[in-house]
Structure 1
């Protein structure tokens, strides 16, 4: 990411114009379904900057970081500035200014699962205190969640759960998170605990972040398109290694540290509420 920052120091254009300049690079990392509409993807991103002065300011403070975030969204095939992939101004202590970070949303997590092609449906829901919820691990295949849709107040957020129905009809691991699990996830989020927490989706869209946390934990049990992509890269590396004597790098490159606020994952927690 430092190379991008250095390259952009000489560019006098605004972040919106720089995004357009990186059209070919963004299209190169995008999956095929987004390459066909890369122009609309870029225009939507430029519109986000124009409508949100705080986001524009954060992007101007470090254009390289902003482009790196967009590269990550493009690589995953997700729409930035939506519930698939949030763009959040975050305070950087070292730089003493805000910069843009990316936060995958629950719709983005679900999209990655569907795109992998192994599931027929993904269920991610929150449970309020006045809902009826039952799931007995080892006895129930899927949760029972009854909601009084006539109730004006369903109470407070109580649980979040997620599971997938696979193409063969089998049910995946059922992930259930309580308030304690959600609190631990939130505590590890840089965007929720930085100098400008008011911009964090944890504060602007709390229910969506409960859903995202459950969906993210489900990806430990259900294939995602990102996982498939990594396996394809590893498989190609193995084939290439067999065809030539020189060794290949051991690790597949990953987005630069700090690009995405997704480091709060504690690993999978299933419906038995395993204590840490």
Structure 2
């Protein structure tokens, strides 16, 4: 009895990229931030489930398992979940290999997660502005943008702007990033997933608003600490403070050794009988 195409496909999944992920569980857990390591099982199951649901992604992972694992390790190192708006997994056409391979695209929720994880911000605001929205922001005059939305409008029109800023722990407002359609178009043109052989599979096509948000959030990371950089700076600062507060060692006087036999003490001899 021969196997059916469906059973063959399931066998491929069980012995292909899904099995490869399970085999590298320890490596994945090792590079994850400590707060994610307890959830490595759920992280792996989410990724395996994505392969089961997406034939194109499964095919791309099978074409180059090494590239696929490199992308997953990048997501794990950042502490982001693949196949979500934190970190997209996208099939990309490789001209040299003449086949698709998996590439990773950090989403706007991933960018925001890294900013929060740094511990320097109390809130991050990332929004898009549609044609019917009211938006005002003048640098130097306004601390934060004014964005008003008529929620009764069924169709808010086309996407017009994207903006992002953060409120720091001390209450200060970070630099405000505002991007128009021209800025977004330039960012999209640089995206390999959007300009490749399968642009319809790119998040630029499947989740356009999210990619506008991601572009604004990514620009904001230039002005707001992300986890790795901020933690390193904090550790360096603490080390500097500790060094300044540690008193310098006091040089104790060296003990003076005296050779009794060689020492000559000048003085008056006193007769004990006369004293008495």
Runs of 4+ in 1 over 4 A off after TM superposition: 229-235
Instruction: State the Cα deviation string for residues 74-103 of structure 1 (Å, max 9, x = none).
Output: 000000000000000000000000000000
Shift of 1:120: 0.2
1:205 aligned partner: 207
2:144 aligned partner: 142
Q: CA RMSD in A?
A: 1.6
Q: 1:55 to 1:232 in 2, by over 3 A?
A: farther
Residues of 1 paired with 2:60 and 2:71: CA distance? 12
1:60-139 correspondence runs (5 A): 60-139=62-141
Unaligned runs of 5+ in 2: 1-13, 238-276
Q: 1:131 to 1:217 in 2, by over 3 A?
A: same
Residues of 2 paired with 1:112 and 1:211: CA distance? 15
Where relative contact order (Cα < 8 A, 6+ residues apart) is larger, the structure is: 1
Q: 1:164 to 1:197 in 2, by over 3 A?
A: same
Contact 2:118 2:231 (8 Å CA) reproduced: no
2:37 aligned partner: 35
Instruction: State the Cα deviation string for residues 236-268 of structure 1 (Å, max 9, x = none).
Output: xxxxxxxxxxxxxxxxxxxxxxxxxxxxxxxxx
TM-score, normalised by the number of residues in structure 2: 0.79
Contact 2:82 2:89 (8 Å CA) reproduced: yes
Q: 1:122 to 1:43 in 2, by over 3 A?
A: same
Q: Give 3-state SS (helix, strand or coil) of 2:15's partner.
A: coil
1:154-173 correspondence runs (5 A): 154-173=156-175
Shift of 1:13: 3.3
Aligned length: 224
Residues of 2 paired with 1:86 and 1:100: CA distance? 10
Q: Which has the larger radius of gyration?
A: 2
Q: 1:92 to 1:232 in 2, by over 3 A?
A: farther
Q: 1:215 to 1:15 in 2, by over 3 A?
A: same
Q: Give 3-state SS (helix, strand or coil) of 1:66's partner.
A: helix
Shift of 1:171: 0.2
Residues of 1 paired with 2:17 and 2:233: CA distance? 34
Unaligned runs of 5+ in 1: 1-11, 236-276
